[in-house]
Amino acid sequence: MHIGLVGLGKMGGNMRTRLRNDGHTVVGYDRDPDLADADSLAAMVAALPDDGPKVV
């Protein structure tokens, strides 16, 4: 499963780690560039595969 996650603070960062440990692909966005996988929301959405609907 491919997941876009907005907000990688304490809770979001832990969610990203647990999801990745379970084998999911997670692209995260956060205002803090040291935490973010993508530098903007648009970049996060673009990093997700285009093989089906995207739900926010």
Q: Is the pTM of this model over 0.95?
A: no
pLDDT tens string 3-33 = 999 999 999 999 999 999 999 999 999 999 9
DSSP tag of 32 = S
What is the distance between the alpha carbons of residues 22 and 32, in angstroms, rounded to a whole number? Answer: 25
Q: Judge whether residue 56 has pLDDT over 80.
A: no
8 alpha-carbon distance from chain centroid = 8
For the chain, which residues make up each domain, given as ranges?
A: 1-25
What is the distance between the alpha carbons of residues 37 and 20, in angstroms, rounded to a whole number? Answer: 13
* Alpha helices by DSSP H, the chain: 10-21, 41-47
